[in-house]
Each structure stands twice: as C-alpha cells, then as structure tokens.
Amino acid sequence: MNWHTLLFYLFALMSCGFAIAVVASSNVVRMAFFLIVSLASTAGLFFLAGAHFVGAMQIMIYVGGTLVLLIFGVMLTAHAAFVSMVTKSSDWVLAAVFGGALLGLLALTAFSVEDWRVARGDQAAVTSSEGEFASSIGQALMGMRVDRLSEGNSQLEAGMSGYLLPFEIIAIHLLVVLIGAAYLARTKRRVGSVTEGVQ
C-alpha cells in the first residue's frame, strides 16, 4: 500500500470534484462553501508535494483570509434575487465545448513528456531535511539562496540572488491595494441612482 499515492488521489478527487461543484452550482452561498473545501484540499496536495510552508500559507491566507472576504461579499449582496442566478443553457453548451477542448489540450500536454509521467526512482531517499523549510524560504525572500549555494554553472550564479526586490514590490503593492480597496468600498450610497437602477 502506497500511502502517498492513495492520499494524492483522495485530495485530487476532493479538489477537482468540489471545483466542478463550484461550476455546477447556481447558488452563490453553496459555491463559496464548495470553493473552501476545494482550496483546502489543494493545501493537502501542496503538503504531499513537499511544500509545507506553501500549504500552510494556502490554508491561512486563502481559506482563512481571501474566502472569508468573498463570503462577506456574498452576505452583503445576499438579495433574494441574486443568491441563485441561473445561466442560460446555450451558454452552458458553449462553455462545455470550449472547456472540454481546453481540458483535453492541457491533459494531453501534461502527459506528453516522459520525464513528467513517472516519479523519480530514488523517491524514498529524498528527505525533507534538505532545506525545504520556512527558514530557507525566508532567507530567499531576504536575498540569500541557501539552497543553491553550490551552483556549478557560473553563468547561472547571477540569477541566484534571491527575491528581495519582488518581496519589497509585493509588500508595497499589498499596502497600496488595501488602502485603495478601503477607499473604494466606503459606503456612499447614492439614493437617486439606486432607484434609477431598479427601474
């Protein structure tokens, strides 16, 4: 019994199945719940791939932050007419044809490379003590790539300088975005335009 493979199929089935449920459901409250389960199962897939820190962040930021934000949006706009909006069946047919074609293309591409199809032979010899922990990720964000100290190719050494600049950019970006979102979301309900909009 290979527990890694078994758990992979369990989490893969859950994340794919609930992602399909998000598409198939027309009730926006149920969609939000299905999305939570799907993204949480994806965190399980991250753990199985050895990305412990990313899996933890997936649960904390995505499931704990972003989706709570989305659920607040659902609750704030939960007018009876908007909770369940039915899509036209002609739209469904178009989307199914286009989505099926895209999925077929992506699946063919995923299984076309021989090296990707099989796992590495010495999988049992790989241990997580080789520096896949939060400290090496933190040092990479500070500009030190402790995992690539022994880069043999001297031309590649210039690219091993870490992620300090993207980290700073994304920090400022997040600050600006949150200020902008708070500014945009201020309640300035224009009574006249609301009655116009209803008609």
Q: How far is the CB of 155 from other proteins (least distance, A)?
A: 17
Of these, 37, 44, 70, 153, which contacts other proteins (CB under 8 A)?
A: 70
- Indicate whether 19 belongs to the interface with other proteins (CB under 8 A): yes
Q: Distances from the Cα of 76 to the Cαs of 70, 72, 105, 187, in angstroms?
A: 10, 6, 39, 12
Q: Distances from the Cα of 46 to the Cαs of 11, 28, 50, 129, in angstroms?
A: 10, 27, 6, 17
CA dist 40 and 43 (Å) reads 5
Of these, 5, 135, 156, 157, which contacts other proteins (CB under 8 A)?
A: 5
- Indicate whether 120 belongs to the interface with other proteins (CB under 8 A): yes
Q: How many residues bind other proteins (CB under 8 A)?
A: 100
Query: Are the beta carbons of 93 and 13 closer than 8 angstroms?
Result: no
Q: How far is the CB of 77 from other proteins (least distance, A)?
A: 5
x/- string (CB under 8 A) for other proteins, residues 89-108?
A: --xx-xxx-xx--xx--xx-
- Indicate whether 144 belongs to the interface with other proteins (CB under 8 A): no
CA dist 125 and 117 (Å) reads 19
